Amino acid sequence: MNADLIAERAIDSLIHDFPTIDAVTIRRLYEDSVRTMSTARVAQFTPALAERLARERLRAVASGGATGDRSIPGVLFLCVHNAGRSQMAAGWFRALAAGRAAVYSGGSEPAADLNPAVVAAMHEVGISIEDEFPKPWTDEVARAVDVIVTMGCGDECPVYPGVRVEDWELEDPAGHGIEAVRPIRDDIEQRVRALLTTLGVNVNQQVQSGSERA
């Protein structure tokens, strides 16, 4: 299919799904997402990934931003490659919050693919992240959350007035097998549970902890 036609169909779909955002903004964010993803190291770039990134950015805009009237709290998890720690944190948060809080993740230097040992370790606890992909953090998302959790990205991680920042010191799972990833996964789980408590979000009791499954 012609690239221009793919783009127009994606934009039309986004306009339909985000009626509160003007079409000019939607087109700008989509086209910027295409540029961002096409120049990133993400393996097998497709327009579908650009649309997913644009959709995430628009979801953040639709939430009202840092000064908007948000009905639920939001958290952004950041690491260097968005291939391991931040993806595990987002996976745990998504499962434990069960829609009662918004979650995003990103990296300062996104990798080409997710760490397969990380994907496997999360699968062991019944959480699928295999359809996720490494992506950069964006200004729209960073401004739309209540908390930014950093994991090793240092000065590259954003800081915004009014947004709480937490730095989690965690071992980087890059280059490690699943045996070494499991304790990192379980450490992240406990941190996510504690974070949800500070946000006043009830944890989904149907999600069994990693240590209980071990």
Six token digits for residue 2:
């012609």
Is the pLDDT assigned to residue 186 strictly greater than 80? yes
Residue 173 DSSP symbol: -
What's the average model confidence in pLDDT over 51-56?
94
pLDDT tens digit string along 200-209? 998 988 776 7
Residue 113 φ then ψ, to 5°: -145, 165
Give the Cα separation of 14 and 21 in Å (integer).
Answer: 9
Contact yes or no for 66/162 (Cβ under 8 A)? yes
What's the average model confidence in pLDDT over 95-105?
95
pLDDT tens digit string along 109-168? 898 889 999 999 999 999 999 999 999 999 999 999 999 999 987 777 777 878 899 999
Contact yes or no for 190/165 (Cβ under 8 A)? no
What's the average model confidence in pLDDT over 25-34?
94
Q: Give domain 71-213's CATH number out of 3.40.50.2300, 3.10.129.10, 3.40.50.2000, 3.30.565.10.
A: 3.40.50.2300
For residue 67, what pLDDT is reported?
45
The whole-model pTM stands at 0.89
Among residues 132, 125, 167, 121, the alpha carbon closest in space to that of 147 is found at 167
Residue limits of CATH 3.40.50.2300 in the chain: 71-213
- Across the chain, mean pLDDT equals 88
Q: What is the 3-state secondary structure (H, E, C) of 112-139?
A: CCCCHHHHHHHHHCCCCCCCCCCCECCH
Q: What's the CA angle centered on 101, arms 98 and 107, to 5 degrees? A: 105
For residue 10, what pLDDT is reported?
95
